[in-house]
Structure 1
Amino acid sequence: MSNVPGFDALENVGIAERDKPPFVRLPKPETLFGLRAMRFAALAPGHQLEAYLAFLAELSKMQDRVVHELPSPALPPLTEMRQRAGHAMPILPREGLADEPAASESLARLTTLLADVAMPDLARAALERARNATGEERQAMFAAVLADAVPVETVAEHIFAAAALQVVAARRAAQLNPLLPQPVAHGVCPCCGGPPVTSTVVGDANIEGVRYVQCSLCAAQWNHVRVKCVSCGSTKGIAYQAIEGIADTIKAETCDECRTYVKILEQRKDMELEPVADDVASLGLDLLVTEAGWRRAGVNPFLLGY
């Protein structure tokens, strides 16, 4: 018997189950942020948000460095994780990250690394506030990010707090056995309980055409059938909105039942698409869809100010 979380589930998987697309695809933090940085950098030149995308490329680079410099965060006891899985609850509830020492260490290292990165004066001031925050102030920032309740007047420093949390959450989720997480509520990550950022129709050879929703916090992806609302699970009134004259690799899947939308990225048409970076770069689509009366269900900490 193995001590790997979820090993019991592995033993009970039959041949037919092995042929199905995996329910969860765990993040690979050792490459996640580096690839994201490359995508931000590729999207920046000539874009209306060029300066911001270039800054996010540098931020993602520093997230990548933190991944490789700090030790992996510890997981809860195996019995606790199995119990949560058995009750269809997120395995690693995100709320606990607010007072997790690894989160504070991640923010401290990230803000130190960013000190040498060029940025506007307002961003620099926000960085200094995050860097000099007390332990209690850091916990408050983390709690606000995790509760999706960031004050409008302090969005800038919370972006750095969110980036630090992404590193820790991804590294925790990466340690799970992929068979352990089970479906929970609509629009909720089975690994950490975070909200989605976008969804992707993947182009990978073995699972081409399968749709996965990506968590905005830990970057785990979970299988979600197409033409079905990520927020409420309805299959009624689903439509796809895109900007005319622009490649239809990114659309907004709108739901008339709950009046929300989540973007869907077509990696079958463009394998370079990245769930977080391309979400920011397609902000124009958000503006059009929200003006038409739908509410964004995807959460992206790098779009908090928009």
Structure 2
Amino acid sequence: MPRQINPAGSDPTAIGEVSAPPFARLPEPAPLFSRRAERWNALAAGHDLGPYLRFLAALADVQHRIQEGLAGPEMPDAAARERARSFGMPPLDRGNLAPDTAAETLDRLIVAASEIKKTVAAADALDRLKQATPAKRGDMVRNVLADAIPMEALAEHVYVAAALQVHFARLAARLDARALVPVGDGACPACGSPPTSSIIVGWQGAHGARFCACSLCGTLWNYVRIKCTLCGSTKGIGYQEIDGGPGTVKAETCDSCGCYVKILHQHKDPGLDPVADDVATLGLDILVREGGYRRGSVNPFLIGY
């Protein structure tokens, strides 16, 4: 991997092709995780992180499989959703989730994840999660939703985060995308979570538009190009990539807040996944951080790196 970064003063992709993109696109839980599993498996071939990417592929397949027969998640009532909309708040309140509402999803994931190939450390972490009391598991759920995962228990929390992604994707899928409103820079309009990355799409009617990808529920929301997805600044925005790469994954850096979020050019490579390719381009994170920028996005599968 070349140890250089190629800076760019502006995003070179044409933006004149955009025609009335939708504000939000809700996740489709059924294919979401199976496609991500396929992407991770494809990325693993010949990759320095190959074993880890294959583990994540197996975990994403678990996320897909545990949905069959899973009871429908309990939605906030219509009045609560309308109240949230009127105050510019997300209809799914990640800060107010009762941990037991996701207990069945977590239980299923723990059982299914027991069958996949994993390292000794990952197996030990799963055993600790199995043995945890309901109260302890509830604490882990709250840690993930508060983005406050303790360093000494990162591995256990990866499984909890995977279960919560399934739970919130299924919740978000039941919303009305037309009823979602902006709730602030760097916040998903469905659940309020930060983005994992942003993508430039090639969809018909929205070609060249940029969407942020929620790190929790998987909702995509339209966001202006050449603007920091975290602080909203349009000044000091730059794009960095590893020299000699395909130019499909870059780090959008912001001098105003000192952070960066990756931007994936999915219109050039439709196979790019906002979560999977974020993990697979860890080398870009390392180089950009060496330049003094902080990672501003959240990916539960990169915590600790």
Same fold (TM over 0.5): yes
Q: CA deviation at 1:106?
A: 1.0
In the alignment, the residues of structure 1 paired with residue 130 and residue 65 of structure 2 have an alpha-carbon distance, to the nearest angstrom, of 17
Task: Calculate percent identity across the aligned residue pairs.
Answer: 50
What's the secondary structure of 1:253's corresponding residue? strand
Matched, 1:41 2:41: yes
Matched, 1:232 2:231: yes
**1:200-239 equivalence runs, <5 A:** 200-239=199-238
Matched, 1:264 2:284: no
CA contact (8 A) 2:94 2:192 kept: yes
1:23 matched to which residue of 2? 23
Matched, 1:74 2:92: no
In the alignment, the residues of structure 1 paired with residue 83 and residue 96 of structure 2 have an alpha-carbon distance, to the nearest angstrom, of 17
Q: CA deviation at 1:45?
A: 1.0
CA contact (8 A) 1:107 1:131 kept: no
Count of residue pairs brought into register by the alignment = 287
2:130 matched to which residue of 1? 131
2:52 matched to which residue of 1? 52
In the alignment, the residues of structure 2 paired with residue 302 and residue 208 of structure 1 have an alpha-carbon distance, to the nearest angstrom, of 29
2:4 matched to which residue of 1? none
For 1:258, give the aligned amino acid. C
For 2:67, give the aligned amino acid. V
Q: CA deviation at 1:268?
A: 1.2
1:11 matched to which residue of 2? none
Q: CA deviation at 1:95?
A: 1.6
Instruction: Provide the TM-score with structure 2 as the length reference.
Output: 0.92
Task: Give the gaps of 5 or more residues in structure 2.
Answer: 1-18
**1:124-203 equivalence runs, <5 A:** 124-203=123-202
Instruction: Provide the TM-score with structure 1 as the length reference.
Output: 0.92
2:117 matched to which residue of 1? 118
In the alignment, the residues of structure 1 paired with residue 130 and residue 207 of structure 2 have an alpha-carbon distance, to the nearest angstrom, of 43
* CA offset digits 1:62-120 (Å, max 9, x no partner): 000112231120101101101101110011011233x2433111111101011111111
2:290 matched to which residue of 1? 291
In the alignment, the residues of structure 2 paired with residue 83 and residue 102 of structure 1 have an alpha-carbon distance, to the nearest angstrom, of 22
CA RMSD of aligned residues (A): 0.9
Q: Which runs of 4+ in 1 moved over 6 A?
A: none
What's the secondary structure of 1:242's corresponding residue? strand
What's the secondary structure of 2:178's corresponding residue? coil
Higher relative contact order (CA 8 A, sep 6+): 2
In the alignment, the residues of structure 2 paired with residue 268 and residue 180 of structure 1 have an alpha-carbon distance, to the nearest angstrom, of 27
Q: CA deviation at 1:20?
A: 2.2
* CA offset digits 1:14-55 (Å, max 9, x no partner): xxxxx7211110000011000000000100011000000000
In the alignment, the residues of structure 2 paired with residue 35 and residue 215 of structure 1 have an alpha-carbon distance, to the nearest angstrom, of 16
What's the secondary structure of 1:214's corresponding residue? strand
In the alignment, the residues of structure 2 paired with residue 69 and residue 123 of structure 1 have an alpha-carbon distance, to the nearest angstrom, of 27
In the alignment, the residues of structure 1 paired with residue 35 and residue 299 of structure 2 have an alpha-carbon distance, to the nearest angstrom, of 17
Task: Give the gaps of 5 or more residues in structure 1.
Answer: 1-18
Q: CA deviation at 1:282?
A: 0.3
CA contact (8 A) 1:239 1:253 kept: yes
For 2:232, give the aligned amino acid. G
Kindly indicate which of the two structures has a greater share of residues assigned to helix.
Answer: 1
In the alignment, the residues of structure 2 paired with residue 132 and residue 177 of structure 1 have an alpha-carbon distance, to the nearest angstrom, of 38
